[in-house]
Amino acid sequence: MNQAEPTPSAPLAPGLYLVATPIGNDADLSPRARDVLTRADAILAEDTRRAGLFFKRLLIERARPGFFSLHEHNETGRIPQVLDMLVQGQSVALISDAGTPVLADPGYRLVRTCREAGLRVTSVPGPSAPAVALSACGLPPAPYTFLGFLPRQKGQAKKLLSRHAATGATLIFFERKDRLTATLSLAAEVLGDREFALCRELTKVYEEFILGRLGRLSEVKLEVLGEVTVVIGPEPVAGAPALADAEADLEKVLAAVMAEEKARGGKPREVARRVALRVPGMSVKDVYERLGHIS
């Protein structure tokens, strides 16, 4: 016999709840997340004003007040207060401005302290920009390494990228639009010519995946709007045969992708872009000119 679900008015079990919130599409808030946010004794939020607007927009009605800020500048000072609430048997929900808490957002020190104190920590999973970007961009999904936000100083960013250059993993990180060109140029310098994807406005109306190669940045439009999640593919396997080593191989790739794109209703320019990503040394223009020879 299945255990009965608690009624909405029943208190939550004591503990810290890490609640994932939508990254762009409000419909992605899960029923469980809504329930926890409704019934928790207190809400910890990066920005309490934004959190209040979010609750209002999604019609989340709380029986108890209690919004507290928890951000990078006050996390350490907030921890004793939260621990005291948990010890007293209260339930506390932690949310970030968007997505899954703790990942590139405040909360790690709080979670670690709760674990060390033997207090309950529960994740209420849901939207996560790195997961959305990695699953939908078409680059190798595993292994992967999430780097959060790269350091602002060029030297530190270079050191971080260098440390992960030879791991064989796909790299994922967040970047601000005004730093995108400089960061990708640095990545090209450190990592070499690898495939990359700029994933912007994820789950929103104008969601877009811009694919390219670090060695051919001039072919990609880098002046983008919105929040950007960058995915950079792994280092090419040494000794692996290049698709463009022989004319016959190139023609096979072109023919295969053309057939695939025709089935999907793709246009020649899109076919050229996709093939160029798979053929080292070929530009979109080169491939586009060859498409006329593929039936």
Q: Which residues contact 172 (CB under 8 A, 6 or more apart)?
A: 130, 133, 134, 144, 145, 146, 147, 229, 230, 231, 232
Closest alpha carbon to 124 in 198, 206, 15: 15
pLDDT tens digit string along 27-65?
999 999 999 999 999 999 999 999 999 999 999 998 777
The total domain count for the chain is 3
Q: Which domain holds residue 268?
A: 247-293
Looking at the fold, whether 110 and 21 belong to one and the same domain comes out as yes
pTM to 2 decimals? 0.76
Closest alpha carbon to 111 in 44, 37, 48: 44
User: Does residue 237 fall inside a structural domain?
Assistant: no
- Rg of the chain (C-alpha set): 23
Looking at the fold, whether 136 and 220 belong to one and the same domain comes out as yes
Looking at the fold, whether 186 and 87 belong to one and the same domain comes out as no
pLDDT at residue number 244: 39
pLDDT tens digit string along 208-267?
999 999 999 988 888 888 779 999 999 876 544 443 344 555 566 666 665 666 566 567
pLDDT tens digit string along 77-114?
999 999 999 999 999 999 999 999 999 899 999 999 99
pLDDT tens digit string along 146-187?
999 999 999 999 999 999 998 889 999 999 999 999 999 999
